[in-house]
Amino acid sequence: MKVHEAARSLGVTPRTLRFYEEKGLVHPYKEPSSGYRAYSDIDMTKLRWVVSLRELGMPLSVIKEALQAIDRPVQFIRIVDQARALLYEDWVAAMQSLQALDQTIRSWQQLGETQLADAEAAALRMKQNRMIRESWSDQWNYNEMAVRYGIEAPLAALGGLITAEQYEHALIRTLEWIDPKEGDRGLELGGGSGNLSVMLASTGANLTVVEQSAAMIDLLHARIPHASIKQGNMLALPLAESNFSFIGCSFAFRHLSSSQQLLALEEMDRVLLPGGRIIITDIMQTAASQEVHDRQNVHTPVQPLPLQQWLTSRGYSVVAEELQSSVYLLYALRIDKNRQESYS
């Protein structure tokens, strides 16, 4: 098929096809005498992938990598899912910027004048949020831990802070507080190798798991094949708004700094349904447990008070339970204001 025929078939311009060729996405045959390009059926299939993935927001660098794995579905899906997570990060940042801009415009309208200080304050908040998101990195190399320890990786990551029996008890208690019902749309964050995920899925809940490690995601797919597994992190969840009746997170929050934890709560609040519940179980540092944490050299223990204050300020009813020494569970119920008003 000649270039103009191929372009017409794909709904693009000949210049676009030449650009894709320059980027190494396709290599059509060139007639020696005339230099005219001829696109084979294989070329056209590749180009259909390129055009489709471009319309879905994939950058050309990702598309090129994905095409190299076109005959390996697991690898292909992983590449596209990684790009999807990045698209959601951009979307979350854009949404927050629009909200901040809307608030600034409303303030100007109420005052009847524009004030530079308002715009500067909003811009500073957006910059701080961006820097918080960008500051996170996997310092613990969970890909390697998944390969080395398998389903025991989360317990190994705790570095002896709690025993295997205490870890199992914490997961069981987390499940009891979540209390998932069959068909509930639930979300687990930082699913790791899937120890809590398996418990949640066994209840019949419609489970989605967000995990940043590709190797951990392989374990999750093997253990809970019917769950929806998304690659991403808690600072920019690759999920739409107001979708879930519960959110669970066990022993993953401590991998975030205090400012990152509050940003993660904002993301949880964004995707949680009215009347939904958040359950966070982790190594936590209270005034009474300060000495224990200092002795065990925990770098970023979760401090529950700021989390409780944030949740309460957003209209949540919060309960804290000490499961064992230094292990706490936070349960937060998002008050459904519409339901409250219907009863009043």
pLDDT digits (tens, 9 = 90+) for 19-47: 999 999 999 998 887 778 899 999 999 99
- DSSP SS3 for 254: helix
Assess contact for 246 and 255: CB atoms under 8 A. no
At 336, is the pLDDT very low, low, confident or very high (cuts 50, 70, 90)?
confident
At 262, is the pLDDT very low, low, confident or very high (cuts 50, 70, 90)?
very high
- DSSP SS3 for 166: helix
What pLDDT, on the 0 to 100 scale, is given for residue 338?
Answer: 64
Q: Report residue 202: phi and psi, to 5°.
A: -70, -15
The mean pLDDT value for 273-278 works out to 96
For residues 179 and 211, give the distance between their C-alpha atoms in angstroms, rounded to a whole number. 22
CA nearest 301: which of 323, 325, 315, 285?
A: 285
For residues 251 and 262, give the distance between their C-alpha atoms in angstroms, rounded to a whole number. 16
Mean pLDDT of all residues in the chain? Answer: 91
What pLDDT, on the 0 to 100 scale, is given for residue 282?
Answer: 96
What pLDDT, on the 0 to 100 scale, is given for residue 300?
Answer: 61
What pLDDT, on the 0 to 100 scale, is given for residue 52?
Answer: 97
The mean pLDDT value for 129-157 works out to 93
At 200, is the pLDDT very low, low, confident or very high (cuts 50, 70, 90)?
very high
At 286, is the pLDDT very low, low, confident or very high (cuts 50, 70, 90)?
confident
For residues 224 and 121, give the distance between their C-alpha atoms in angstroms, rounded to a whole number. 45
Q: 339 pLDDT exceeds 90?
A: no
Contacts of 124 (CB under 8 A, 6+ apart): none
What pLDDT, on the 0 to 100 scale, is given for residue 241?
Answer: 84
Higher pLDDT, 286 or 16: 16
The mean pLDDT value for 155-171 works out to 94
Q: 64 pLDDT exceeds 70?
A: yes
At 340, is the pLDDT very low, low, confident or very high (cuts 50, 70, 90)?
low
By percentage, how much of the chain surpasses pLDDT 90?
Answer: 84
What pLDDT, on the 0 to 100 scale, is given for residue 67?
Answer: 96
164-174 pLDDT, tens digit per residue, is 999 999 999 99
Higher pLDDT, 339 or 217: 217
Looking at residue 156, its amino acid is A
| DSSP type of residue 322 | E
Q: In a 10 Å sphere around its CB, with 0-12 CB exposed, 13-18 middle and 19+ buried, how is residue 16 labelled? A: middle
Q: Report residue 300: phi and psi, to 5°.
A: -135, 65
What pLDDT, on the 0 to 100 scale, is given for residue 291?
Answer: 47
Q: Name beta bridge partners: 248.
A: 188, 279
What pLDDT, on the 0 to 100 scale, is given for residue 308?
Answer: 96
At 295, is the pLDDT very low, low, confident or very high (cuts 50, 70, 90)?
very low
CA nearest 219: which of 200, 197, 235?
A: 197
What pLDDT, on the 0 to 100 scale, is given for residue 53?
Answer: 97
What pLDDT, on the 0 to 100 scale, is given for residue 194?
Answer: 97
Q: 12 pLDDT exceeds 70?
A: yes
For residues 1 and 33, give the distance between their C-alpha atoms in angstroms, rounded to a whole number. 17
